[in-house]
Amino acid sequence: MEARDAYVAAFESARASLPGVAALRRAAIEGLEFPMRRNEAWRFTSARQLLAEVRPCAYGVFGALPEGVQGVEALGSVAGTRLGSVASSDGFAGLNAAFFKDFALLATEAGASRTVELSTQLGGLATPRVLVVGESGSHTEVLLHHALRPGLAVPVVEIVALAGARVSLTHVVEGEGDLAGCIAVEAGEGSEVAVQSVLAGVGIARLDLTARLGPSSRLDTSGLVLGAGSAHADHHLCIHHSGAGATSTQRFRNILDARSRAVFTGEVHVLRDVPGADATQTANTLLLSDDASAVARPWLVIDNDDVAASHGATVGRLDPDALFYLRSRGVGALEARRLLTRAFAGEVIETVPAAFREGVEHVVERYLAGRVS
Amino acid sequence: MLELVDVHAEVDGKPILKGLSLVVKAGEVHAIMGPNAAGKSTLSKVICGHEAFRVTGGDIRFEGQSVLELAPEERARIGIFLSFQHPVEIPGVSTSYFLKAAVNAVRKARGLDELSAVDFLKQAREKMKLVDMTKDLLNRSVNQGFSGGEKKRNEIFQMAMLEPKLAILDEMDSGLDVDALRIVANGVNALRSPERAMLVITHYQRLLDYLVPDYTHILVDGRIVKSGDADLAREVEDRGYDWIRAELGAAAGA
């Protein structure tokens, strides 16, 4: 493939300037291969379209890192060596592994708590890499906000929650460019990990969320797609219940206007020797326009009888009875539509940690101000 | 205050109201009774401007002005209120946020300043007492998970907050036991005033024991076929609707 060859060549000329993890980079570029449509996991999102233009790498996307967050100098630290241990380096994540320079390490010591906000400005081929390591009994809350400018962003976030750690990631994408991002979670015994994803960009966005759940761990995922114009947003989850008695939840909502489209795939794998898994999944879509569309695919692969799993998906419009009820009390038609649309997003917004909730509400307000009319 | 002049209305192309005329003056309470499918609920919906109900003839005037071209929210702002037969559950929209938006939209239309959060709360607490509700209602999503009685009490609470000139109470008694009915009816009675008119739509006379009307009208097949005072309601309770139909048939045959 043309794009692949171009990126391999770019790597050869850039590699001397790329910091650390040479073996990881080399393996990623040698194995670099992009998913085709016949790949079931990429049936609804065109990798070819994402690769239509080969772009130069753009660095410096984090600006200054907040206090307590380490940069590339920490690649050799104990926590830093976990890099690449959770995320795969397949496909677009391979581009990140090969080319990344912008690196942020958030390591929370045992028993400690911290709340961190990171933001990026992404354009060209942007490859930010974040590693979150929560030591035993620690509590970490991270907001990662990506502002996309034209280009292709391939951010990778790895989360390592050690035994009994709690980690929450709020991952927000806004702006004009395309995205093929990856969030990978390793949940240790008894740990609790939460990931909330907001895709509010107007380009093509694909976000893969993969997780391995250790014994008695918990993963709560939620997502909100705010679709406008011809935006395409694809959430693809792949959750492996690797340890007994783990719980996973998926709560995704799409609000789609104009010609926008959302895809949701929730893969859950429970192996034969893993009893006591509990997996729930809901995907609900609100269509604000006749031309918007959504695909929801539950994908449960369960090889053990001792399991509780449920899934549900709905697609609908604003309830005309609810609209009439609000209007009959004097609330204007536009305000009534906004109230109901905001309420639809509410179930996901309330999963966001209090520290970041207002920020996410603002994303929703910006979207509503531009779309619901 | 409210004048219905030879109103014809249809839903999904099916005629429901077939020449309904009615005049309601300030301070009056009118009961509309009728058998199932007579057009009782359609009447309430067309007065409030529900888009699924199309007025095909006649006029609806409020304080002398036709309201047919007004959106539902505009009708609410000039003082028309509908207590729903089936109040809608709206998950994710808090009662306080919704009601504050509604009260302020109505106040703005009347040239009044917006209520501050504090004043709104003060007023809400006061008016909740009318229907025996507690302030946790304000934090709950609109009608979500409410019992039948709570929903109807919430309707009357909203009416008290919005202070309409005309209140239309659609099947207020449906789904209520006697105790709940008494609470709701007491709330409504407390809101009766010489400036306010009420249109009480009901299938059963039971409600009218608690909420005694000045006038009673019998609606059959999209028209008011008989009018009287509160006694007419009792007669319907005793004899059903068939004798009225019989009278109509005799009149038509004569």
Nearest to B166 by CA among B34, B24, B20: B24
- Residue B117 within any structural domain of the chain: no
- Whether the predicted pLDDT of A87 surpasses 60: yes
- Whether the predicted pLDDT of A240 surpasses 90: yes
- Residue B160 within any structural domain of the chain: no
pLDDT of residue B237: 80
**Sorting pLDDT into bands at 50, 70 and 90, what band is B106?**
very high
| Cβ-based contacts of A342 with chain B (< 8 Å) | 92
- Residue B34 within any structural domain of the chain: yes
- Whether the predicted pLDDT of A282 surpasses 60: yes
- Whether the predicted pLDDT of A373 surpasses 60: no
Across A263-278, average pLDDT: 94
CA B12 to chain centre: 23
Across A222-235, average pLDDT: 97
Say whether residue B93 is in contact with chain A using an 8 A CB cutoff: yes
Residue B206's DSSP bridge partners are none
Q: Which ipTM did the prediction report?
A: 0.95
CATH of residue B16: 3.40.50.300
Say whether residue B91 is in contact with chain A using an 8 A CB cutoff: yes
As a whole number, the mean pLDDT across chain A is 94
**Sorting pLDDT into bands at 50, 70 and 90, what band is B71?**
very high
Q: 3-state DSSP: chain A helix, strand, coil percent, rounded to 5?
A: 25, 45, 30
Which element (helix H / strand E) includes A296?
strand A293-302
Are A324 and B98 in contact (CB < 8 Å)?
A: no
**Sorting pLDDT into bands at 50, 70 and 90, what band is B239?**
confident
What six digits make up the tokens of A25? 């980079």
Residue A34 to residues A92, A93, A95, B55, Cα–Cα distance (Å): 7, 10, 10, 60
- Residue B220 within any structural domain of the chain: yes
Q: What is the pLDDT of residues A288-322, one digit of tens each?
A: 999 999 999 988 998 888 999 999 999 999 999 99
- Residue B94 within any structural domain of the chain: no
pLDDT of residue A173: 97
Across A90-101, average pLDDT: 95
- Residue B195 within any structural domain of the chain: yes
Non-local (6+) Cβ contacts of A171 within 8 A are A144, A146, A157, A181, A183, A195, A196, A197, A198, A207
Which one of B44, B83, B90 would you mutate to disrupt binding with A, by most A Cβ within 10 Å of its Cβ? B90
Parent domain of B54? 2-88+165-253
- Whether the predicted pLDDT of B253 surpasses 70: no
Q: What is the pLDDT of residues A148-168, one digit of tens each?
A: 999 999 999 999 999 999 999
| Cβ-based contacts of A325 with chain B (< 8 Å) | 84, 87-88, 90, 142
- Residue B123 within any structural domain of the chain: no
- Whether the predicted pLDDT of B29 surpasses 60: yes
- Whether the predicted pLDDT of B212 surpasses 60: yes
- Out of A322, A331, A335, the one facing B88 most closely (by C-beta) is A322
**Sorting pLDDT into bands at 50, 70 and 90, what band is B243?**
confident
pLDDT of residue A51: 93
Structural domain count, chain B: 1
Are A327 and B51 in contact (CB < 8 Å)?
A: no
Q: A366-370, B62-66, B95-99, B245-249 — which is least confidently predicted?
A: B245-249
What six digits make up the tokens of B242? 């068939």
Torsion of CA A267, A271, A275, A276, to 10 degrees: -10
Non-local (6+) Cβ contacts of B242 within 8 A are none
Strands (E), chain B: 2-11, 14-24, 29-33, 53-62, 65-66, 80-83, 90-94, 141-142, 166-170, 197-202, 215-220, 223-228
pLDDT of residue B245: 80
Non-local (6+) Cβ contacts of A92 within 8 A are A34, A47, A50, A154, A180, A181, A182, A206
Q: A111-125, B180-194, B201-215 — which is least confidently predicted?
A: B201-215
Nearest to A280 by CA among A301, A297, A264, A266: A266
Say whether residue B168 is in contact with chain A using an 8 A CB cutoff: no
- Whether the predicted pLDDT of B254 surpasses 70: no
As a whole number, the mean pLDDT across chain B is 91
Q: What are phi and psi of A34, to 5 degrees?
A: -105, 145
Q: What are phi and psi of B113, to 5 degrees?
A: -70, 155
Q: A46-60, B112-126, B200-214, B230-244 — which is least confidently predicted?
A: B230-244
pLDDT of residue A124: 92
How many whole angstroms separate alpha carbon B229 and alpha carbon B242? Answer: 19
Do the Cβ atoms of B34 and B60 come closer than 8 Å? no
What six digits make up the tokens of B43? 């009447």
Are B99 and A329 in contact (CB < 8 Å)?
A: yes
**Sorting pLDDT into bands at 50, 70 and 90, what band is B203?**
confident
Report the gap between the CA of A348 and the closest CA in chain B (Å).
11
- Residue B181 within any structural domain of the chain: yes
Residue of B nearest to A348 (CA): B92
Across B218-232, average pLDDT: 90
- Out of A322, A328, A346, the one facing B76 most closely (by C-beta) is A328
State the SS3 of A334-364: HHHHHHHHHHHHHHHHCCCCHHHHHHHHHHH
- Whether the predicted pLDDT of B178 surpasses 90: no
